[in-house]
Amino acid sequence: MKTLLRRLSPLIILIVFFGLAFLLVSTKESPEQKEETANLTIVDVMTVQQQTVSLNLPSYGVVNPKYKTQLVTEVQGRLQSLSPNFVAGGLVKKGEQLAVIEPSDYEADLMQAEAGLAQATAMLNEEIARGEVAKIEFKDFDSGMAPELGLRIPQLKKEQANVKSAQASLARAKRNLERTIIRAPFDGIIKERKVDLGQYVTLGTNLGELYDINTAEIRLPITNSDLAHLESADTPDTEVTLSASLAGKQVTWEGNIVRSENVIDEQNRMIYLVAEVIDPYLQMTATANQLPLKYGSFVSAVIKGRTVSGIAQLPRHVVRNGQVAVVKDDNSIEMRDVNIVRTDIDNVFIKDSFTTGERVSITNVANLTNGQKVKVLGESEQDELTPADDVSSDVITSAGDQ
């Protein structure tokens, strides 16, 4: 009996296994059937607001003085003294004495010129007296008119010419003496000094360079097409805001565009506008927490452009191939052609292409197409619009305004 059970045990195990398997298969439940749902692209949106804006133009430039001059000697001699302000960076006023050339030789020339004028004047007076005597002598002359030589008229003209020559020599001597004192021709800042005390200078020696501090100029390059955004392309007269980082903080200054150079640069194909800033070193209008606009500074500029209405300002990446993805009320996409009037580094300005309140996709999805359904980021499922005949358009709410 034991031998029989041992031989039949594998068969019994198989029978029990198949019975259990059949029981499990016959009692299993069918899987729940769910409707397939389409995977919608998720986009972020912003609401368009039409506004009136100034189409400002960005630019850049280096600050330079409107006037700068080389201080050059008009006489020669040894430098007798130098002003303490006649150093690089020194601020000087118009007419201020900067240097003095040894004047003794020119003082002697002046005295000699004065003596020469006095001598010529005395000779002229003497000749006038002789002429009067000659007139008396020829008073009873019966042979016609008295000769000019007899009346000493040529001699008188000679002495008059000698007096004029002496006067000219005196004026020249005075000017040369005045030129021994080097004065500032305008309010300015000393760029550099090239001479030292005791140095002998000749005619035309460059003593240094002086920059005007009353007005600063900045040449601002813009493209030829950007001229269309100014009120007047030929005679631009508009405001400009300059900014630079000084002393660890961002500082701004206000100026005006005063002219255009009206020539396109051959190297970079740009046209230059010239901006002016009055009193850049704050000598007349010093204000608290305001820093001077120093020459040589590199500044960024924002030139005020013409004012345009009906403008929508969007991030630049939103526009692809001249089109913007508009998210309609039913969350479908409309690829709309837009009228771009200007772009800058970050933004694009679009005119008369949207109505206020419309939504545009700001998500960088390159494969959006007309009519494509999308899901708006931040919009709940209850707010989504499902296509049904009994759904009123009044139920639609805008979501995802950023």
Distance between CA 308 and CA 197 in Å, rounded? Answer: 62
- CA distances to 51, 231, 233, 245, 278 from 348, rounded to whole Å, are 14, 20, 22, 27, 33
**How do the residues of the chain divide into helix, strand and coil, expressed in percent and rounded to 5?**
25, 35, 40
**Percent of the chain residues past pLDDT 70, beyond the cut:** 85
Final residue in a domain of this structure, among 123, 150, 179: 179
Q: Is 3 part of any domain?
A: no
Cα torsion 384, 387, 390, 393 to 10°: value is 60
Q: Is 288 part of any domain?
A: no
- CA distances to 50, 69, 102, 181 from 76, rounded to whole Å, are 71, 20, 9, 11
> CATH number of the domain that 341 lies in?
2.40.420
Q: Between 153-178 and 104-137, two packed helices, what is the crossing angle to 10 degrees?
A: 160
pLDDT at 146: 57
Final residue in a domain of this structure, among 125, 156, 179: 179
Q: Is 319 part of any domain?
A: yes
**Percent of the chain residues past pLDDT 90, beyond the cut:** 46
Distance between CA 191 and CA 38 in Å, rounded? Answer: 73
Confirm if 207 and 77 have CB atoms less than 8 A apart.
Answer: no
Tens of pLDDT, residues 81-122: 999 999 999 999 999 999 999 999 999 999 999 999 999 999
Higher per-residue confidence, 388 vs 244: 244
Q: Residue 359 belongs to what domain range?
A: 308-376
Residue 52's pLDDT band, with cuts at 50, 70 and 90, is: confident
Mean predicted confidence (pLDDT) in 131-152: 65
Is the per-residue pLDDT at 270 higher than 70? yes
pLDDT at 388: 37
Tally of domains within the chain:
2
Distance from chain centroid for Cα 77: 44
Tens of pLDDT, residues 193-224: 999 999 999 999 999 999 999 999 999 999 88
Distance between CA 275 and CA 251 in Å, rounded? Answer: 17
Is the per-residue pLDDT at 20 higher than 70? yes
Q: Is 192 part of any domain?
A: no
pLDDT at 386: 43
Residue 33's pLDDT band, with cuts at 50, 70 and 90, is: low
Q: Is 157 part of any domain?
A: yes
Mean predicted confidence (pLDDT) in 180-195: 94
Q: Is 129 part of any domain?
A: yes
Final residue in a domain of this structure, among 148, 179, 210: 179
Is the per-residue pLDDT at 241 higher than 50? yes
Burial class (CB in 10 A: 0-12, 13-18, 19+), 205: middle
Task: Flag whether the pTM goes above 0.75.
Answer: no
Q: What is the H or E stretch that residue 253 is in? A: strand 249-264
pLDDT at 296: 93
Highest mean pLDDT among 26-35, 38-47, 323-332: 323-332
pLDDT at 9: 73
Q: Is 160 part of any domain?
A: yes
pLDDT at 62: 96
Q: Ramachandran region of residue 381, left (φ > 0), alpha (ψ -120 to 50) or beta?
A: alpha
Q: How many CB atoms lie within 10 A of CB 361?
A: 22
Q: Which ranges of 1-43 would DSSP assign to H, the alpha helix? A: 2-27
Is the per-residue pLDDT at 387 higher than 50? no
- The DSSP 8-state label assigned to residue 147 in this structure reads P
Q: Is 139 part of any domain?
A: yes
The residue to which tokens 């961002």 are assigned: 250
Averaged pLDDT of the chain: 84
Q: How many CB atoms lie within 10 A of CB 353?
A: 20
Is the per-residue pLDDT at 402 higher than 50? no
Report the b/e string of 323-348 with b at 16+ CB within 10 A. ebbbbeeebebbbbebeebbeeeeeb
End-to-end CA distance of the chain: 87
pLDDT at 1: 61
Mean predicted confidence (pLDDT) in 227-241: 81
pLDDT at 273: 93
